[in-house]
Amino acid sequence: MERAERFIVAFNKIEKYINQQLNDTSYVPFFQAVLRLRKKDAIVNRYHNDLLEYSELRNAIVHERTEVNYTIADPHIEIVEAIEKIAAEMTAPKLVIPTFAKTLKVVQADLTVKTILNVIRETRFTQFPVYRSKQFVGLLTDKTVLHWIAHHMNGDFAELLKTPIMKLIDDNGAEPNYRFIPRSMDIYQAEELLLDMFKKHEGIAALLITEDGKPNQKLLGMVTPSDLIRVP
């Protein structure tokens, strides 16, 4: 298959995806469809500038043929591979599970500050889902612990270390630093959600992944701001 043909095949897959997601019974030009859909589709939003440029190239390939088997515009292989990659991501996007599946260090709310400091020192964990028995109550981070200690250093430090970590969760404020998401969410939706939450609340720590995005379900993984570098 020639490069122009490969480009058109990939473009048609993208156009089909966009039309399905837009779900408009009337005809919507590709340019307008992209601008409309980018507001609610993370993948389209991520690539919308590329898609608009590819639309112009598609028009040059399809509408400016001088012969049946000859096109004026012949895309470079890099462009062909790039649009094929976008088409693949749209039709079969990577999901947060297994991409961000990981073992989490779950702790109980009655553990002390001293205990959690020892865990931080002895392991590589920096974020801890906190439970009271089997009920999720919050997400504790190493930064939360250090900030809390710094703000309470005016008393007996030995007594401070005996404080249950539930106190830190309670003192961290009403704005949660996490959100639960389902394992079926794709990585681009997760990226967009995390970035949006970060803009609204600088203390955002993670997206916690369960089967259906419910806190009473088993934790399957977690997405943190540092994980975004793994999103292609």
Q: Cα–Cα distance between 114 and 139 in angstroms, integer? A: 17
Distance in angstroms (rounded) separating the CA atoms of residues 163 and 112: 5
Taking only the tens place, the pLDDT of each residue in 110-136 is 999 999 999 999 988 989 999 998 899
Q: What letter represents residue 37's amino acid? A: L
Residue 198 confidence (pLDDT): 76
The whole-angstrom distance between residue 7's C-alpha and the CA centroid of its chain comes to: 28
**CA-angle at 193, arms to 204 and 12, nearest 5°:** 160
Helices (H), 3-112: 3-22, 30-37, 42-63, 77-91, 96-99
Question: Three-state DSSP class for 76?
Answer: coil
223 beta partners: 207
pLDDT tens per residue, range 45-73:
999 999 999 999 998 888 655 555 555 56
Residue 158 confidence (pLDDT) above 60: yes
Give residue-wise pLDDT tens across range 84-105: 999 999 999 899 999 999 989 9
The SS3 of residue 112 is strand
Report the predicted TM-score, pTM, of the whole model to 2 decimal places: 0.79
Judge contact between 15 and 87, C-beta under 8 A.
no
- List, in order of start, the domains of the chain with CATH numbers: 3-92 (no CATH), 99-230 (3.10.580.10)
Structural contact between residues 182 and 91, judged by C-beta atoms closer than 8 angstroms: no
- Residue 94 sits at φ, ψ, to 5 deg, of -70, 140
Distance between CA atoms of 207 and 225, rounded to whole angstroms? 9
pLDDT score, position 60: 84
Hunting for tokens 């012969």 — which residue is that? 67
- In the chain the first and final C-alpha atoms are separated, in Å, by 27
204 pLDDT band (50/70/90 cuts)? confident
* Distance (Å, whole) CA 1 – CA 232: 27
Per-residue model confidence (pLDDT) at position 151 = 87
**3 state SS of 82:** helix
* Other beta carbons less than 10 A from residue 7's beta carbon: 26
Asked if residues 57 and 67 have their Cβ atoms less than 8 Å apart, the reply is no
